[in-house]
Structure 1
Amino acid sequence: MLLFLALPASAGGFRLSENCPPGFERLADDVCRMVTLYDQYGSLRGRGVGGTRTGLPPRRDGFTAQQIDLGRYLFFDPILSADGSVSCASCHDPALGLADGRGRSTGLHGETLSRGAPTLWNSAFLSRFFWDARAESLEAQLPGPLYAAGEMGNNPDDLLAALRNNAEYPALFRAAFGAGSGPIDTAQVYTALAAFEASLISLNSRYDRYAHGDHNALDAEEIAGLNVFRSFVARCAECHTPPLFTNQQVAVIGTPEPEGLPRDIGAQATFGSPKLRGAFKVPTLRNIARTAPYMHSGRFETLAEVVAFYNDGRGHAVPEDEPLQLHWHIVSPELAAHELDQLVAFLGTLTDERFLPRVPTRVPSGLTPGGRSARAALTPTGEAP
């Protein structure tokens, strides 16, 4: 059994929280377990068209409060990047729906990347990561942004040297992983970041209140939108299946690329399958009203544009010489204008940010913490480190 340290605050005033994040309970073995009303349903029944009282898939939890809090500091600390200029929160900003408000993200030196940053809400439930589904766990996903030249631009040796030579982090890692855990290593870094990301839970929206039996949580327009969403005409729920509002599959839907850019082959590169040319992971719709612009490259600025794209018919945006094999759920629903408005109204009910992570006012590196707009997410009184 590891011996975890209840260390006093360091000379810099940093001490890891011993409390689990909101929405989690602390178990006898000191690990944190997520608590949600969806646990009472206990099955995945109703998945085909999105039953409202549907259980959740397996989740990543069981991390300690100290590991989660260490991951929080790392997430907001630019020390993880090659030149100390960007943090994980630069592309996954709490003030921007844990995305970055850009169609295509900006990397280390201001370079525009090929895809946008997906939201991190409810990552604990996901089985595939990245738009092209190339990683199978939170830990396996992390080397991508950390070491990609166009993103955070670091390498394992320099990353570990920066953390080990820092005045605060060695003691914080010992507090999170035990007195005998040895020098900081990449596995510990990945575990701490995964622990924090797995704590980002959004399951308490007005839609959720409605799903659990409060029929006054939605108005008539929003309920009508839910019915359109679940219908066999629109078929939205067959890919964006409640309660996660994703079926975690990849799909070819024929989204046009931004003007002048070539076709992004997406999951074809991951799985080596020409059938998946232009396929991308079905994103969650949780907090979708907060994460514009939309699609893998930000092709659409508004939700109204998104629902109009689906309504305009199967393959209408695909060039004649482009060999895309569209997913069979992509149809031509021919919804009326008022039904499209109802869909947009319903999507707004999926907003729930009550468990936004606390943005630290300081991080152990001494660098400026957080995302490019993280200061806007601070509590009015600020937060003690």
Structure 2
Amino acid sequence: MPRCLLYLSLFAVGLSVQAQGATLRTDCPPSFEKTASGQCALRTFYEFYDSVQGAGLGGTQTALPDHRDGFTPQQIDLGRYLFFDPLLSGDGSLSCATCHQPALGFSDGLPRALGRDKRDLGRAAPSLWNTAFLSHFFWDARAQSLEEQAQGPLYSEREMNNTPAGLLAALNTEEAYRALFREAYPDRRSDKIVLEEVYTALAAFQASLISLNSRYDQYAHGYHDALSEHEIEGLNIFRSFVARCAECHTPPLFTNQQVAVIGAPEPEGYPVDIGAERTYNAPRLRGGFKVPTLRNIASTAPYMHSGRFNDLLSVMEFYNGGRGHAVPEEVDLHLHWHISSPNLSTDELARLVDFLGALTDESLTPDIPPRLPSGLDPFAAMHERKQQQ
């Protein structure tokens, strides 16, 4: 059975959409516990570890960084509807899920995301798994919260092309949405939807996208047989002082959340993307991008900020090619000090790819609503993008 059909059959189970509209779930998503105050608190095995992320070189039993939770089940579920609804775009053609599709690792499978009128946005759509743990957002780290991040694509003329006034008008016109917002925010003073409620709901849903039960995690928690011999070899190479992968892609989140200048090449004909230099007004960060998580990396090809590499082996070969080997001669970059020339063998590169496949955990993929309060099709824009891959 194709993956998309399998997901659709799973998504049909337990949905709260009913014949006369939608209601919000009152239970927390899997991996969250509903507290006495009615909020959802994340629960993972990593809570039992007290070592700090970054201690040592990629230790397996390492605590996670601080995270966002404390949203109500209703706020999370409202965010789910909003995330998949093209109503949030100016012309009703794009949703958040257009570029962040569950079946594609919450990315879109394209080298670079396409915005309004299929415009090339210049950078790949990043995965949204485990965004609850992140402190900066976008490849260039320009947003400091999920709420701030949401406003970027919503109001960009190149992306969803809406305005604050247009967004509120569209939502407030739909009585079904006004009813759902009343459920999610029972203490509100006004019957009108306000922007902060929209941003909070989107943040709540994204913060619920947790992927922490891969075969690697099972191995880290003590089940040695969860990984094959090749995958364990790959893990050891990943953590080694030769490859140094774990210094930036630090377990268990598999990112240190820092900006790094690695000298990844741009696609043919594209100028050098200055990345975080613009965010921080720092020339030393020219060509620098946020270190992405490697969670579910096998589902999010193509790779790098510009989608230059089609498969993980190509990525490994880039890192193995030597410090700065792909940087044009006329470009001066301050490459991160971790970037070296590891000179790994072909077999060692293959073992790294084997290990990265063990970081896949999509068991908590949320349901796609088969029907939206707006009446729009949540699958239309995603199907269009699938045809463009």
TM-score, with length taken from structure 1 = 0.93
Structure richer in helix, relative to its length: 2
- What corresponds to 2:242 in structure 1? 233
Q: 1:340 to 1:353 in 2, by over 3 A?
A: same
- What corresponds to 1:205 in structure 2? 214
- What corresponds to 1:242 in structure 2? 251
Tell me which moved more, 166-175 or 66-75: 166-175
Tell me which moved more, 68-77 or 362-371: 362-371
Q: 1:348 to 1:169 in 2, by over 3 A?
A: same
Given residue 150 of structure 1, which amino acid in structure 2 is its aligned partner?
R
From 124, 127, 144, the equivalent of 2:135 is 127
Return the offset for 1:191. 0.1
CA contact (8 A) 1:76 1:87 kept: yes
- What corresponds to 1:340 in structure 2? 349
- What corresponds to 1:18 in structure 2? 26
CA contact (8 A) 1:128 1:134 kept: yes
Question: Equivalences for 1:1-385 in 2 at 5 Å?
Answer: 12-44=20-52, 47-182=55-190, 183-370=192-379, 372-373=381-382
| Backbone CA RMSD of aligned residues | 1.7
Matched residues in 2 for 1:339 and 1:299: separation?
22
Q: 1:349 to 1:371 in 2, by over 3 A?
A: farther
CA contact (8 A) 2:53 2:250 kept: no
Which 4+ residue blocks in structure 1 deviate beyond 2 angstroms? 8-13, 45-48, 370-375
TM-score, with length taken from structure 2 = 0.93
Return the offset for 1:181. 3.8
- What corresponds to 1:4 in structure 2? none
- What corresponds to 2:11 in structure 1? none
Return the offset for 1:320. 1.2
CA contact (8 A) 1:228 1:343 kept: yes
2:226 partner SS? coil
Q: 1:106 to 1:25 in 2, by over 3 A?
A: same
Percent identity over the alignment?
63
Tell me which moved more, 192-201 or 364-373: 364-373
Q: 1:115 to 1:308 in 2, by over 3 A?
A: same
Unmatched segments (≥5 aa) in structure 2:
1-15
Aligned length: 370
Matched residues in 2 for 1:273 and 1:287: separation?
31
Return the offset for 1:45. 5.6
CA contact (8 A) 1:78 1:367 kept: yes
Given residue 147 of structure 1, which amino acid in structure 2 is its aligned partner?
Y
Matched residues in 1 for 2:55 and 2:115: separation?
37
2:355 partner SS? helix
Q: 1:11 to 1:373 in 2, by over 3 A?
A: closer
Return the offset for 1:373. 4.0
Matched residues in 2 for 1:371 and 1:198: separation?
25
| Cα deviation digits, residues 20-71 of structure 1 (max 9, x gap) | 0011110000000111000000331663411100001110000000000000
